[in-house]
């Protein structure tokens, strides 16, 4: 009598520890993001007064850091433990969530391409909302300043967008010293300056609009972004391809391990 037996009736050692190594990096990265997020909140005193979280009318970058950290930590944990313990449930959870994220990314890219005008308006409204909240959060302030300096832009569509901010608007009843000005990140940069002049934007918009070009960037950040994307299309596409390949690699490793574990269980 002959008995049939699977030739590979064991979980692949190679795939198992590849899966573990793949996820340990994400697990540690997730923990680091969470730690950075809570450190940033502690520096702003949010942990001592949680009501500050709801006071911000703009976007708090720490929320994004914490969200990425939590998702990465959970997925890394599920992948690591699922691989070491050969737990099918955790591995299915990992591959399912990665697959969902990949699908959402693909859907978002297609919708952004199809509804370009709507996306442009949404980005414009989002930027204007954060212009209003510029002084309410130091992280938001640094984010906007970095965006304006890197892209040589000012405001969403034009420098006058800063009228929406209570500190920079040109109304007569505005007591702020920054009245009718712009943030320093809008100012034309001079490589010869060794000291940052944070007051360079004061009173700039009191001049004639034709003279603004001598002091500040007059292009809005939305048009600057629209010009940047075509110039860097291959870089953006390359980043998305690498991210997609990493996600597909994770799904492949998880599904392969699941098949191996199920074979072993069936054999016994």
| Helix/strand/coil (H/E/C) assignment for every residue in 80-143 | HHHHHCCCHHHHHHHHHHHHHHHHHHHHHHHHHHHCHHHHHHHHHHHHHHHHHCCCCCHHHHHH
Residue 48 confidence (pLDDT) above 70: no
Query: Alpha carbon of 4 to those of 1, 7, 9, 260, 262: distances in Å?
Result: 10, 9, 11, 17, 17
Summary mean pLDDT of the chain:
86
- Digit-coded pLDDT (tens) for 94-118: 999 999 999 999 999 899 889 988 9
The full set of domain ranges for the chain reads: 13-157+220-267
Collapsed DSSP state (helix, strand, coil) of residue 187: strand
Per-residue pLDDT at 53 exceeds 90: no
Residue 58 has pLDDT above 50, yes or no: yes
252 burial via Cβ count (<10 Å: 0-12, 13-18, 19+): middle
pLDDT in tens, 153-196: 999 999 999 999 999 999 989 999 999 999 999 999 876 666 78
Report the predicted TM-score, pTM, of the whole model to 2 decimal places.
0.78
Residue 235's Cβ-side half-sphere holds a number of Cα atoms within 13 Å equal to 5
Q: What is the pLDDT of residues 1-36, one digit of tens each?
A: 444 444 555 777 888 888 999 999 889 999 999 999
Based on the number of CB atoms within 10 Å of its own CB, is 153 exposed (0-12), middle (13-18) or buried (19 or more)?
buried
Percent of the chain residues past pLDDT 90, beyond the cut: 56
Distance of CA 231 to the CA centre of its chain: 21
């Amino acid at each position: 009598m002959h008995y049939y037996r699977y030739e590979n009736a064991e979980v692949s050692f190679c795939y198992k520890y590849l899966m573990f190594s793949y996820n340990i990096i994400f697990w540690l990265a997730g923990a680091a993001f969470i730690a950075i997020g809570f450190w940033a909140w502690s520096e702003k005193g949010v942990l001592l007064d949680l009501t500050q979280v709801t006071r911000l009318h703009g976007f708090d970058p720490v929320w994004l850091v914490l969200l990425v950290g939590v998702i990465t930590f959970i997925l890394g944990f599920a992948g690591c433990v699922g691989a070491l313990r050969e737990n099918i449930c955790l591995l299915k959870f990992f591959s399912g969530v990665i697959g969902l994220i990949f699908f959402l990314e693909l859907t978002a890219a297609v919708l952004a391409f199809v509804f370009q005008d709507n996306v442009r308006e949404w980005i414009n409204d989002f930027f204007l909302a954060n212009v209003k909240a510029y002084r309410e959060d130091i992280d938001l302030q640094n984010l906007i300043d970095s965006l304006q300096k890197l892209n040589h832009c000012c405001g969403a569509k034009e420098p006058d967008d800063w009228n929406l901010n209570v500190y920079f608007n040109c109304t007569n009843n505005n007591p702020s010293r920054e009245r009718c000005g712009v943030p320093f990140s809008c100012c034309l940069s001079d490589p010869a300056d060794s000291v940052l002049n944070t007051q360079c934007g004061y009173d700039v918009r009191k001049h004639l609009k034709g003279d603004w070009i001598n002091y500040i960037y007059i292009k809005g950040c939305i048009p600057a972004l629209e010009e940047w994307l075509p110039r860097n299309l291959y870089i953006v596409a390359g980043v998305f391809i690498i991210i997609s390949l990493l996600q597909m690699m994770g799904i492949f490793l998880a599904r392969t391990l699941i098949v191996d574990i199920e074979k072993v269980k069936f054999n016994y």
